[in-house]
Amino acid sequence: MDMGIKGKKALVCASSKGLGFGCAQALAREGVDLVMNARTEGPLLEAAEKIRTETGVDVVTVATDVTTEQGRAKLLAAAGQADILVTNAGGPPPGMWSDWSREDFIAAFDANMLTPIALMQALMPGMAERGWGRVVNITSQSVKAPIPVLGLSNTARTGLTGFVAGTARQVAAQGVIINNLLPGIHDTDRAIALDTGVTQAQGITMDEARAQRSAAIPAGRYGTREEFGATCAFLCSQHAGFMVGQNVLLDGGGVNATI
Ligand code: NAP
């Protein structure tokens, strides 16, 4: 299926690895020029070169922290009149509800709620003026089914989801389509970090931790960044123009719910 977005320009945040990389690669395969971002320059340059070599699209890299105001200013300068925005950043650390301080909450809100909101506020007026835009926010399955040890994530991402629910309906008539993509367990560094937490908490090996978490997924395995990226590319495509403010779960069936 032709996604109809060849020649568009996308800002894909936090994209040197993992799910952000999967989204950048899938968009590039559709002929979309990219601004890619991560904090660490080396892996970012390598990721950009891999995508350039494979697809031939134009890729600009901005090594900066997307959760800071200065970082976002650099990214927005490079993004110019981007047609597509994919928001992403690292997830908050796990912990216990009684231990989190005000500062911990503010850091989670900054990274996983206020940063995507600020980027949407900066880029969507231009999209609306030009009559076309797509926004995909990478959130988490924890929005639909809370993961107790990830309370900071549950809280901040649900706030973002509330913002999107209303705003998506305000900009849709101008051709700007916002949706959220909710990963379940995917095979990325983040999953390895969470598996490591399980090994420490339960005194089991990495293989055991992975088998235990896979067993909780009806598909029986972790998701791949390629699958995630392909879904993102669809949400950014011409075909997604009537899909407004949805929360699309990609979790191998992990969230046990009828709707
Ligand atoms: P990952 O494999 O660890 O990759 C994270 C990417 O984001 C890297 O490129 C990293 O590069 C970049 N990054 C992190 N913080 C950044 C920042 N402040 N500014 C700019 N770039 C930043 O993680 P992932 O698995 O793709 O996860 C992506 C998001 O999905 C996270 O928020 C995670 O919590 C959420 N999620 C993941 C899963 C899963 O199973 N993988 C499940 C549910 C939710 P640098 O470190 O160099 O900055």
Same domain, 193 and 142: no
Q: CA-CA distance, 184 to 67, in Å (whole number)?
A: 23
Number of structural domains the chain divides into: 2
Q: What is the pLDDT of residue 54?
A: 98
Same domain, 70 and 176: yes
Q: What is the pLDDT of residue 251?
A: 98
Q: Is residue 178 part of a domain?
A: yes
Q: What is the pLDDT of residue 86?
A: 99
Q: Which of 188, 175, 176 is nearest to 229 (CA)?
A: 188
Q: Which atom of ligand 1 is nearest to the CA of 193?
A: 3
Mean pLDDT of 42-59: 98
Q: What is the pLDDT of residue 190?
A: 83
* CA distances in angstroms from 234 to 9, 30, 166, listed in the order given: 15, 10, 22
Mean pLDDT of 161-177: 98
- Which domain does 196 fall in, by range? 187-222
Q: Is residue 122 part of a domain?
A: yes
Q: Is residue 154 part of a domain?
A: yes
Q: Is residue 259 part of a domain?
A: no
- Strand 247-250 relative to strand 9-12, pairing: unpaired
| Cβ neighbours, 10 Å, residue 256 | 8
Same domain, 92 and 214: no
Phi and psi at residue 220, in whole multiples of 5°? Answer: 75, 15
Mean pLDDT of 75-103: 97
User: pLDDT-based confidence at 67, cuts 50/70/90?
Assistant: very high
Rounded distance from Cα 18 to ligand 1 centre (Å): 6
Residue 197 has pLDDT above 90, yes or no: no
Structural tokens at position 27: 């968009």
Q: Which of 179, 166, 169, 79 is nearest to 136 (CA)?
A: 179
CB 19 within 8 A of CB 45: no
Same domain, 213 and 153: no
User: Ligand 1, atom 34: nearest CA belongs to which residue?
Assistant: 91
Q: CA-CA distance, 36 to 15, in Å (whole number)?
A: 6
Angle formed by the axes of helices 18-29 and 41-55, to 10°? Answer: 20
Same domain, 158 and 55: yes
Alpha helices in the chain (DSSP H): 18-29, 41-55, 69-79, 102-109, 115-130, 151-171, 189-202, 206-215, 225-235
| Cβ neighbours, 10 Å, residue 72 | 20
User: pLDDT-based confidence at 193, cuts 50/70/90?
Assistant: confident
Rounded distance from Cα 121 to ligand 1 centre (Å): 22
Q: Which atom of ligand 1 is nearest to the CA of 17?
A: 9
Rounded distance from Cα 21 to ligand 1 centre (Å): 9
Mean pLDDT of 227-239: 98
Q: CA-CA distance, 131 to 143, in Å (whole number)?
A: 30
Residue 150 has pLDDT above 90, yes or no: yes
The 8-class DSSP code of residue 112 comes to I
Q: Which atom of ligand 1 is nearest to the CA of 38?
A: 21
Q: CA-CA distance, 96 to 71, in Å (whole number)?
A: 30
Pocket test for ligand 1, best of 11, 39, 217 (most atoms within 8 A of CB): 39
Q: Which residues line ligand 1 at a C-beta cut-off of 6 Å?
A: 14-20, 37-40, 43, 65-67, 88-91, 138, 140-141, 183, 185-186, 188-191
Mean pLDDT of 60-68: 98
Mean pLDDT of 56-84: 98
Rounded distance from Cα 190 to ligand 1 centre (Å): 6
User: pLDDT-based confidence at 191, cuts 50/70/90?
Assistant: confident
Q: Which of 22, 24, 1 is nearest to 9 (CA)?
A: 24
* Buried/exposed code over 213-234 (b: 16+ C-beta within 10 A; e: otherwise): beeebeeeebbebebbbbbbbb
CATH number of the structural domain spanning residue 127: 3.40.50.720
Q: 3-state DSSP helix/strand/coil percent for the chain, to nearest 5? A: 50, 15, 35
User: pLDDT-based confidence at 194, cuts 50/70/90?
Assistant: confident
Same domain, 59 and 128: yes
Same domain, 109 and 196: no
Same domain, 216 and 132: no
